[in-house]
Structure 1
């Protein structure tokens, strides 16, 4: 059968093909897309002899509908997986949180810079480089117990530095009576 014959049969069977595709795909828009695909493929489909062209077109329509459903299912699964991997709005840092985090990191860096050298080295090796206390002890030439004590003092210095910084930030917003002044001193 030549190209013109298959196109004529397609045009004749188009209403029934549309109903088949709507039933298989669930909506008219997807059925129209499938019909368009079929129309564009007729040139390729007519290359070989076809004994029953109408039955052939129905089989092509059914196969196309199956391919479209499988593709839609994969697309939905991919989109769902992508959405599941996205952080919730509360987890996405806003500008204020980013600035606060930078400020806190600068405070931590300043506190580490104020520490004695061995204490800062021990803290960086343990918390940032994730080295074991034994490795730190060997590098610094002290015992594991000495490393534990250095880390405890480092944590205390960090905590004190951050607390002082927090007090300094709140000071301008405190009432006079909260700063230690009595009402008579005003």
Structure 2
């Protein structure tokens, strides 16, 4: 447990750095404005320095201005790195979700209306598949939905490849008529 002298010494160091920070605020703002290119960002950096000094457990500092400059430059570097990470993350997201046409960013994802319409069409198609004649339905499902070749479907059901083709033709004709209605 720290003694009373250690606690008072830490408070004096923090108060001393805060006093130097207050006295040299204008100089620090000028310095960080030249480093960041923005007065607003320089204000933010100086504010973060103040927060750092207020909560830091530092002992006596031999050169308070050097300490404040170094603390501020660490903050600037952290901000630059964070900005670069954010830009890379946003570019990665943008590259996968947004398409650029004529210099303009366009979102190619379907609209909510298109999503609902697509679901309705899928439900309508599923009902149409369920309404197929039994032989055509079995062959159609195995070939088109399960991905088996005509030869594999023919072997599975013990029918000729020609019969598979006829069942597929019947199924497609029924589905076309159901979709057109």
Q: TM-score, normalised by structure 2?
A: 0.73
1:74 corresponds, among 85, 99, 113, to 85
- Partner of residue 173, structure 2: 156
With 15-24 and 127-136 compared, the bigger mean Cα shift is at 127-136
Cα contact 2:13–2:61 (8 A) shared by 1: no
Name the SS of the counterpart of 1:142 in structure 2: coil
Point out where structure 2 has 5 or more consecutive residues left out of the alignment: 1-11, 99-105
Where in structure 2 are the equivalents of 1:4-153 lying within 5 Å?
A: 4-86=15-97, 88-89=106-107, 91-95=109-113, 97-153=114-170
In 2, distance between residues paired with 1:77 and 1:56?
32
**1:26 to partner: Cα distance:** 2.4
Q: Counterparts of 1:44 and 1:17 in 2: how far apart (Å)?
A: 19
| Higher share in helix | 1
**Bigger fraction of residues in strand:** 2
- 3-state SS of the aligned residue for 1:2? helix
Deviation at 1:86? 3.1
Structure 1 runs of 4+ aligned residues shifted over 6 Å read none
Query: Do the aligned partners of 1:118 and 1:140 also contact (CA within 8 Å) in 2?
Result: no
Shift in alpha-carbon separation, 1:98–1:4, aligned structure 2, 3 A: closer
What are structure 1's unaligned runs of at least 5 residues?
166-186
**Number of corresponding residues:** 163
- Taking only aligned residues, the RMSD between alpha carbons, in angstroms, comes to 2.6
TM-score by length of 1: 0.71
Distance in 2 between residues matched to 1:43 and 1:102, nearest whole Å: 58
| In 2, Cα distance between equivalents of 1:149 and 1:11 | 89
